[in-house]
Structure 1
Amino acid sequence: MPDLLAQDREWSAAMRAALAGDAAAYQRLLTALVPFLRKVCLRACARAGLSASDAEDAVQETLLAIHLKRHTWDPAQPLAPWLAAIARNKMIDAARRRGRRAETDIADFEDVLAAPAEADGFDRELDRQGALRLLDQLSPKQREAIEAVSIRGESLRDAAKSLGVTEGALRVSVHRGLKALAALYQRLNS
């Protein structure tokens, strides 16, 4: 850690000189920052599951951001945390661009993903009647809201207008009704 503090003092002095117009100091600073930024980006890549080439891209983007935003650095503050924050943000951008999606060939999961066969004796009409009995246990306001939005598929605006309530009140009724239905169903099946 003391090594980084010494480096930071050196980098901060070079950045102050660069901001004062010393182009040579700025060139030396950018060259000296590359190993530090590479280390920060490689560590972030490892945590995010990104490749080393993503880290190199982030280093280049970080150097560009430093150049474009150098006027925002406060010379009274250490430079390293400011640099690390820029690098971290560039790594976050890289991870977002990648989408961090795992891709797997689903052919290997054919048996696992196959739709389950319908259970013997399953009666959809009985299931529908059970759902209607649960709906009947709700307050009239909640039942009407759920029927309009969830069952008939009306938009919030249309359902609110037809029920004579605001959209906000309708959302609350639907939310509370669905929560009550979940609790009723849970009690029924426990």
Structure 2
Amino acid sequence: MEWADLMRAANAGDEAAYARLLKGLAIELRAFVRGALARSNSAVDVEDIVQETLIAIHLKRHTWIDTEPFGPWMRAIARHKFIDAMRRIGRRVHVPIEDFENLLSAEEANPDTPRSDVEKHLPQLPDRQRGVVQSIALDGRSISETAKQFAMSEGAVRVALHRGVKTLAGVMRGAV
């Protein structure tokens, strides 16, 4: 049976047809996801995306119009689930701020480096990084205060701080 026929039978209550449909779709979806992940160089688990797609198909099966082709409807769901997985990875930016505690205050990071030396090199940073480093490292504001000040998420502040401190350390090493 073709997928559309299996889906029609499943929607009519045929559990065996539904089981065959899901089994066949899982094989097709694994191939699609593996190919897409290979192109994206991502470390996402294929099976996670396949299962999310099958769940979405199950939950949305009533939205498929049985006079329309099944393949495009199913591939649209699979594509959206794949994109959702890629977005989740992109948002997983975790910079453990504790690793940089000793760099947060320029005077604590290196007591031999006067605050004025840090301030002298600060203009070499991009605007947003400069503002974040200034706010946290020199002015003593918290991550949440800085996030509100610059209308950024706390994660974005941590990333900007990490990048800014790293760039500043490189600039200062080169100036010594």
- TM-score of the superposition, structure 2-length normalised? 0.50
- TM-score of the superposition, structure 1-length normalised? 0.46
Q: Rg larger in 1 or in 2?
A: 1
